Chains A and B, each alone.
Chain A
């Protein structure tokens, strides 16, 4: 596979650049990144926000999906580990399949780690946005598999934490298995005389 080519007819990608207050904008020139994003093929809209994850930012995404008839959304902000679910839900609310969303991390892996190299960090952010847009072109709608949850919990360890967790779950009406290695539950707490700060008995 030498060059990946894809029929780009009908692709309408929206790029949302987040400033995250000064967390991103303090290091990266977000205006320059937005300007750059506008020059990329298939990009139909570029919107910059102070906080894309906040309600106003999410509303902008939803509005843009309708107004610009977007069929791919790229958000350049923080790590997908935090807000990928947020944005997937957001685009789904606007009627787009959540898997047509792509996230570009320009905070944890860019602005926060290159604080004294503003220009180079901005160049890196542009490269990452370009990469995100390139990937977005190839995104496809997906259907998630729904799996049933067995209504039983397993708690491993019968010390104070395990006992509490098991009791709470059982009180909530769930079946619980509590597995303890030792012949008795109680763990280390059972070997204590009194517990602070109330100086009451441990057992």
Chain B
């Protein structure tokens, strides 16, 4: 599995969440709150503990 946990933020409603994602083989993202597809994968913070 090339999936890892990433931070996502919906640019429509502002909802933030963490989810498993494969950045090589991208899939459709939908905000769990407002159903928008404007879901940004937030840049990984340097030095943050890996899960």
Q: Do A and B interact directly, with beta carbons closer than 8 Å?
A: no
**Chain A residues at the B interface, C-beta cutoff of 8 Å:** none
